[in-house]
Amino acid sequence: MLLSLPNDLVFFDLEATGLNITRDRIVQIALIKLFADGRPQEELEMKLNPTVPISAEASAIHGLSNEDVANEPTFPEVAARIQDFIGDADLAGYNSNRYDVPLLQEEFYRAGIFFDTNGRRLIDAQQIFYQMEPRTLGAALKFYAGKEMENAHDALADVRATVDVFAGQLKHYAGATYTKDDGTVIEPFTDLDAVADFCKDDRFLDATRRLKRGPDGIPVFNFGKHAGKPVAEVFAKEPSYLRWILEKDFSTEVKTLVQVIDEQRRKGK
């Protein structure tokens, strides 16, 4: 560490059944403790039985199935051990302030332990990254084209900057390869078709990301009380939900898609 530690510092990461802080549960926890007095760091890692199903989407990301953790201890059974390992240490992670810390707190609360973060330093490397390397058009122009942004948010100035950024990206990444989540190695910048494929996000069915493809490719909701549920199944059980969507302030694209999905459902396709 380049900085002296005023307190022990625990870096940690969680894998869970999903992304909902209050509803989902931890399936794996890993912690590394750095000591303020300079002692060698210590590590703790364990898999946990969440006692609720792991979503297919979460399993596809972290690779843990319900069968993998069926015989592991539950969080309440190891909560005291985890609490002892952390002690009074400060906490650090990546996107930890928005996800890992509150999810860990919820698990402790369910186990009857009040895990207080008041007085602890909370270090989030993602926030440092985002704030020190801003993802703005001006920052991209400076990085890829070596130019300073002028007249930001003027439409013509912005689109001129975007042209320069794209030209700079093509030069910067010429010959570069990219490894996809499935391990496939691609060359995204060989031609415009390759670039377009690289920019495409097939997870979502509409531009506003209200509908997406489930693990089996079936359209599911990406919002509200039916988030994660197949659209057709919801309409079959609750026809009023379709009428609600059509009457509310959703995009024309979403309204068209849900009508098509419901029509196909009624035709048995």
In this predicted model, what pLDDT tens digit does every residue of 14-61 receive, in sequence order?
999 998 888 899 999 999 999 999 999 999 999 999 999 999 889 988
If we measure between CA atoms, which residue out of 37, 46, 49 comes closest to residue 74? 49
What is the structure's pLDDT at 269? 67
Residues 96-144 pLDDT 10s:
998 999 999 999 999 999 998 988 999 999 988 888 888 899 999 999 9
Sort residue 225 into left (φ over 0), alpha (ψ -120 to 50) or beta: alpha
Q: Is the pLDDT of residue 2 over 80?
A: no
| Phi and psi torsions of 130, nearest 5° | -65, -35
pLDDT at 1: 67
Domain with CATH 3.30.420.10 in the chain: 9-129
Are 104 and 14 within 8 A, CB to CB?
yes
Please determine, for residue 88, whether its predicted confidence score (pLDDT) is greater than 80.
Answer: yes
For residues 218 and 252, give the distance between their C-alpha atoms in angstroms, rounded to a whole number. 20
Average pLDDT, the chain: 92
Torsion from C-alpha of 164, 150, 154, 170, nearest 10 degrees:
10
- CA distance linking residue 119 with residue 88, whole number of Å: 9
Residue 134: per-residue pLDDT: 85
CB-side exposure of 217: number of CA atoms within 13 Å?
A: 0
What's the predicted TM-score (pTM) here? 0.69
CB 195 within 8 A of CB 188: yes
**What is the tens place of the pLDDT at every residue in 243-257?**
999 999 999 999 999
State CA 248 to chain mean position distance: 28
Give the HSE-up count for residue 45: Cα atoms under 13 Å, Cβ half-sphere. 5
- Rounding to the nearest 10 degrees, give the CA dihedral for residues 90, 92, 95, 98: -10
Contact 265, 236 (CB under 8 A): yes
Pairwise CA distance, residues 229 & 56, whole Å: 12
Read off the pLDDT of each residue in 174-178 and give the average, rounded to a whole number.
94
Architecture of domain 9-129: 2-Layer Sandwich (3.30)
* Total residue count of the chain as it appears in this document: 269
- Name the residue among 155, 119, 125, 116 with its Cα closest to residue 137: 155
